[in-house]
Amino acid sequence: MVEWSCCSCGCVQWMPEDYNKQLRASHSIFYCVNGHDNVYYKKKDIEMAEGLLMNEYSKNAQLEKIINQLNIKVKKLEHSFINWVLKPK
């Protein structure tokens, strides 16, 4: 018997080892005693999702850097404009 817990409610349950292997190989949906669906995902799917997430983190960091650089330029322009307007004529 293999012990497993539901990903939704956490209730601990047992299933025959052969059935567990079959579910892991087929990635079929199975249910806990409370009716929550569970599935063993393919490692490739999880790794692909992790890779996509890391790409998004990288893009986010690049965009934050660009935003910070643009904010610095805006502040310099604001300062220059204020000095130009207030410059005695």
> pLDDT digit string (tens) for 19-49?
999 998 898 999 999 999 999 887 777 788 8
Written as six digits, the tokens of 61 are: 């960091």
Would the pLDDT of 61 be above 90? yes
Distance between CA atoms of residues 37 and 58, nearest Å: 33
Q: Are 49 and 21 in contact (CB under 8 A)?
A: no
Mean pLDDT computed over every residue of the chain: 91
Separation of alpha carbons 27 and 42, rounded Å: 7
Query: Residue 17's pLDDT is what?
Result: 95
Q: Domain extents for the chain? A: 2-38, 42-89
Residue pair 14/2 in contact by the 8 Å Cβ criterion = yes
C-alpha of 83 from chain center: 46
